[in-house]
Structures are given as C-alpha cells and as structure tokens.
Amino acid sequence: MKAFALLALALFGYVSAQPGTGNNLFHLYAGSDNLMQRNEFDRFWLHFDDNKDGEVSKLEFDSGWRQEGFPHAASAPLYFLEMDIVRDEVLNSLDFPHIFRLFDEDGNGVISEREARTNGAAYFWFNE
C-alpha cells in the first residue's frame, strides 16, 4: 500500500512536472530495458484499480485519471470506452491483451517507446 502511494506520487510528480506525459509514463512502467512487456502494460492499467478486484471500473478510471493530473480529463470517459474492447463496462484481463496488440504495432511482443508515444498521442492525446 505504501509502495502504491509512492508510485502514485511519482506518477503525479512526473505528470505535473513537465509536458510529454506519455513519454514519462512509459519510462516509469517500462523499466530499465526501455521496453514494455505485457505484465508491465497490465500493471499500468491496474494501477487505476482502487478496490483491487482486478477490474477497472469507469468510476475508478475517470477519478484516477483526474487525480493523477493526466491530460484532457474531460475526455477520460471516452478513453475508457476506447479501451473497453471486450465491452462489459470494466477494463480487465479480457481487454488488456487486445489493448496491448493495438500498441504493439510491429507485433514483436513488446511495446517500444516509439509505439507507446505514437499510440498514447492518438488514443489519449498525450503530448508526443
């Protein structure tokens, strides 16, 4: 729980400190190899899961997006819809593999910084 609070703080600090949100988020989750594996990608989505039931509800996503100071908070409900690919009004392990493949454009099983930036900008209007 403490680690989580620290992570949230780190996220918030990163986001509010400078532009290029997608870029900083990528480094936070991708780690030192600068590539995002499936488990790292899932970890990003699940950090919105406040009650830890393995599913990100629309409320969790919307309020998390705002609390962390991500850009274009008014559009968070739309971003949720975009990512709810298996349409059941929650983001969970059914959606993550599909979202991952949308980001992994060359299909090599990892998300590169370029893939993250391009798609983050397209889906969430993050600064490139």
* Residue ranges that bind Ca ion, judged by CB under 5 A: 49, 51, 53, 55, 84, 86, 88, 95, 104, 106, 108
Indicate the residue among 18 and 106 with the shorter CB distance to Ca ion.
106
In the complex, least distance from residue 42 CB atom to Ca ion, rounded to whole angstroms: 13
Please identify which residue in the block is written with the tokens 């593999």: 97
User: Minimum Å distance from CB 69 to Ca ion?
Assistant: 21
39 versus 51: smaller Cβ distance to Ca ion: 51
Instruction: Pick the closer one to Ca ion by CB: 17 or 122.
Output: 122
Q: In angstroms, what CA-CA distances link 74 with 1, 19, 70, 102, 122?
A: 28, 18, 10, 23, 16
> Which of 21, 47, 31 lies closest to 124 in space, CA to CA?
21
